[in-house]
Chains A and B, each alone.
Chain A
Amino acid sequence: MSKPEKLIIDGKRLDGRGAQDLRPIKFKAGVLKRADGSCYLEFGGNKVIAAVYGPREVHPRHLQDASRAIVRYRYNMAPFSVEERKRPGPDRRSIEISKVSRESLECVILQEMYPRSAIDIFVEILQADAGTRVAGINAASVALADAGIPMKCLVSACAVGKVDDTLVLDLNKDEDNYGQADLPIAMTPSGDITLCQMDGHLTEDEFRTALEMAMEGCRYIHQLQKQALIEKYGQMVSPPAQEAPAAETAEVKEEIFKEDVEEFKEQEQQEQGGEANE
Chain B
Amino acid sequence: MVEREIVVPGDLLSDDPRLASHGTYVEGGKVYSANYGLVDRRSNIKVIPLSGRYIPARGDLVIGKVDDVTFSNWIIDINSPYEGLLHVSEYPERVDQSNMSKYLHIGELIVAKVKDVDPTMKVELTLREEHLKILRQGRVIDISHTKIPRVIGRNGSMISMLKKELNCSIFVGQNGRIWLRGDEKMVDLAIRTIFKIEREAHTSGLTDNIKEYLTKELETLRSNK
Instruction: Please report A residues at the B interface, Cβ cutoff 8 Å.
Output: 36-37, 54-57, 66, 108, 110, 114-117, 145-154, 188-190, 225-226, 229-230, 233-234, 236-238, 240-241
CB-based nearest A residue for B49 = A148
Contacts of A238 in B (CB 8 A): 3-4, 204
Q: A110-B34, A240-B5 are in contact. Are A153 and B10 (CB under 8 A)?
A: yes
Q: Which of B10-64 contact A (CB under 8 A)?
A: 10, 23, 25, 27, 32, 34-38, 49-53, 55
Residues A151 and B10 in contact, CB atoms below 8 Å apart = yes
Q: Please report the C-alpha to C-alpha distance between residue A108 and residue B35 in the assembled complex, in whole angstroms.
A: 12
Q: A66-B120, A229-B8, A234-B6 are in contact. Are A147 and B81 (CB under 8 A)?
A: no
Q: A148-B53, A236-B200 are in contact. Are A153 and B120 (CB under 8 A)?
A: no
Residues A54 and B53 in contact, CB atoms below 8 Å apart = yes
Residues B36 and A146 in contact, CB atoms below 8 Å apart = yes
Q: Per-residue 0/1 for B103-127: is the Cβ within 8 Å of any A Cβ (1 yes, 0 no)?
A: 0000000000000000111000000
B6, B8, B10: which has the most chain A beta carbons within 10 Å? B8
Tell me, rounded to whole Å, the shortest Cβ–Cβ distance linking A149 to chain B.
7
Q: Does B192 contact A (CB under 8 A)?
A: no
Residues B25 and A110 in contact, CB atoms below 8 Å apart = yes
Q: At the interface, is chain A mostly helix, strand, loop or mixed?
A: loop
Of the four ranges (under 10, 10 to 19, 20 to 34, 35 or more), the interface on chain B belongs to 20 to 34
Residues A146 and B202 in contact, CB atoms below 8 Å apart = no
Q: Does B203 contact A (CB under 8 A)?
A: yes
Q: A115-B121, A146-B51, A233-B50 are in contact. Are A153 and B3 (CB under 8 A)?
A: no
Residues A152 and B9 in contact, CB atoms below 8 Å apart = yes
Contacts of A225 in B (CB 8 A): 8
Q: Which of B201-219 contact A (CB under 8 A)?
A: 202-204
Residues A154 and B8 in contact, CB atoms below 8 Å apart = yes
Residues A226 and B8 in contact, CB atoms below 8 Å apart = yes
The 10 nearest A-B residue pairs measured at CB = A153-B10, A148-B52, A148-B51, A151-B9, A145-B36, A117-B81, A150-B34, A55-B81, A236-B203, A148-B49
Residues A148 and B36 in contact, CB atoms below 8 Å apart = yes
Contacts of B27 in A (CB 8 A): 152
| Pairs A–B under 8 Å by Cβ, sample size 14 | A55-B81, A66-B120, A116-B120, A117-B81, A117-B121, A146-B51, A148-B37, A150-B9, A152-B25, A154-B10, A226-B8, A229-B36, A240-B5, A241-B3
Tell me, rounded to whole Å, the shortest Cβ–Cβ distance linking A31 to chain B.
14
Q: Please report the C-alpha to C-alpha distance between residue A116 and residue B119 in the assembled complex, in whole angstroms.
A: 10
A108, A151, A189: which has the most chain B beta carbons within 10 Å? A151
Residues B4 and A116 in contact, CB atoms below 8 Å apart = no
A37, A148, A151: which has the most chain B beta carbons within 10 Å? A148
